[in-house]
């Protein structure tokens, strides 16, 4: 009777030669289980970090400085043993340092996890995976082709905290993009920012162009974040806020020097993304430029795991969302009429296509 058990000594599986199975290397060295454990631990790793943020661990440790667990537990008003277990978990994630029972923030925590860090992701982490309950029903989503609780059912409820949480990262990207795009060299540019969220691109461009102006679009409710952020950065008086669906709002033809599609195409599916690119082309002046920021997969959809997982995240939580390849976006841009395509990466994992409307 055949029993599908692994051999205790794989090197002795003489029947598993290349002539029989075509993969002789597994006779000598079975594949490691590390990818399986990495997936299993992924859930715990995320929730360790989330719990640390919810308990205010990083801001508390910034205030306390290097401290023993007793001092940290007292500050968090939580049991010492439980706080130690959590802190050790965060150390295992390489997001805290520990030496002789003294814990302290490491450089990554100081930069990304304290709420006022220079590149803080503290507000992004709770929102970035999408609605958590959708991940527990992923198999059903794949079977049915639709998540149980798509973001589209309550876009304002999801996107407001998301765009607030991602603002710091997107603003860093948009500001550094000037080194690649040189938008600050333009004189009085007219900017159209579709699905602007907190308007990080418009704010960065208006900061770099004192005579520029922007039309900032997003859904009613979400656009409130853009109004608040532009006021905070002192550029609101040069913005017109145009709430509505970016597929249907009125847009002036041939009017803009720059159109921004910042992380919106992957929510719309292929047809929706192509429609937005076509709208951008029609809105631009001759020689105007489109900046299309998103997460792009390679042609084989496997060499950029960050973008691939982002695509799965979109599938898990939206009605139409997927990530698309560089090649697909290149073809859609050229089909719409764009020329001089470039791909820039102002900061890590944040890529943008830059394309021009012909003269």
pLDDT value of residue 31: 76
Q: Is 57 helix (H, G, I), strand (E, B) or coil?
A: helix
CA angle centred on 92, ends 347 and 127, rounded to 5°: 50
pLDDT above 90 (res 160)? yes
pLDDT above 60 (res 27)? no
6 pLDDT tier (thresholds 50, 70, 90): low
pLDDT value of residue 32: 81
Residue 57 to residue 78: CA distance in whole angstroms: 11
Least confident of 64-68, 116-120, 248-252: 116-120
pLDDT above 70 (res 12)? no
Hey, what domains does the chain have and what are their CATH numbers?
Answer: 34-113 (1.10.10.10), 132-357 (3.40.50.150)
Work out the number of other CB atoms within 10 angstroms of the CB of residue 257.
20
Give the residue carrying structure tokens 């139409």. Answer: 320
pLDDT value of residue 1: 52
**pLDDT for 334-349, tens place per residue?**
999 999 999 999 999 8
Give the residue carrying structure tokens 């876009």. Answer: 155
Average pLDDT, the chain: 93
Residue 252's contacts (CB-CB under 8 Å, 6 or more residues apart) are: 283
Residue 148 to residue 141: CA distance in whole angstroms: 7
CA angle centred on 223, ends 222 and 225, rounded to 5°: 80
Q: Note the pTM of the prediction, 2 decimals.
A: 0.88
pLDDT above 90 (res 330)? yes
pLDDT above 70 (res 7)? no
Per-residue pLDDT averaged across 11-36, rounded? Answer: 66
Residue 83 to residue 318: CA distance in whole angstroms: 36
Q: Is 96 helix (H, G, I), strand (E, B) or coil?
A: strand
């Amino acid at each position: 009777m055949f029993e599908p058990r692994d051999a205790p000594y794989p090197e002795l599986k003489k029947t598993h030669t290349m002539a029989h199975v075509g993969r002789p290397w597994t006779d000598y060295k079975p594949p490691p289980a590390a990818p399986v454990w990495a997936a299993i631990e992924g859930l715990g790793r995320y929730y360790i970090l989330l719990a640390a943020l919810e308990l205010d661990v990083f801001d508390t440790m910034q205030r306390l400085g290097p401290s023993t667990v007793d001092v940290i537990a007292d500050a968090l008003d939580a049991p010492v043993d439980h706080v130690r277990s959590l802190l050790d978990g965060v150390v295992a994630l390489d997001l805290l340092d520990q030496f002789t029972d003294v814990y302290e923030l490491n450089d990554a925590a100081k930069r990304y996890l304290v709420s006022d860090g220079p590149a803080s992701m503290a507000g992004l982490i709770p929102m970035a995976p999408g609605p958590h309950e959708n991940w527990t029903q992923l198999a059903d989503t794949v079977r049915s082709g639709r998540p149980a609780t798509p973001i589209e059912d309550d876009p304002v409820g999801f996107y407001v905290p998301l765009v607030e949480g991602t603002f710091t990262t997107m603003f860093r990207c948009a500001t550094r993009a000037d080194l690649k795009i040189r938008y600050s060299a333009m004189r009085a540019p007219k900017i159209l920012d579709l699905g602007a969220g907190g308007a990080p691109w418009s704010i960065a461009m208006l900061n770099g162009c004192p005579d520029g102006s922007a039309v900032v679009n997003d859904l009613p409710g979400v656009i409130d974040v853009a109004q608040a952020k532009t006021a905070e950065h002192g550029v609101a008086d040069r913005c017109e806020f145009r709430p509505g669906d970016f597929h249907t709002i009125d847009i002036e033809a041939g009017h803009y020097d720059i159109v921004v599609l910042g992380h919106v195409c992957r929510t719309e599916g292929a047809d929706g993304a192509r429609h937005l690119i076509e709208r951008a082309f029609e809105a631009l002046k001759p020689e105007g430029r489109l900046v299309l920021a998103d997460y792009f997969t390679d042609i084989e959809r496997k060499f950029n795991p960050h973008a691939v997982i982002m695509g799965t995240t979109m599938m898990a939580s939206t009605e139409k969302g997927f990530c698309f390849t560089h090649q697909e976006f290149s073809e859609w841009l050229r089909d719409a009429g764009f020329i001089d395509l470039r791909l820039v990466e102002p900061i890590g994992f944040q890529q943008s296509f830059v394309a021009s409307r012909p003269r």
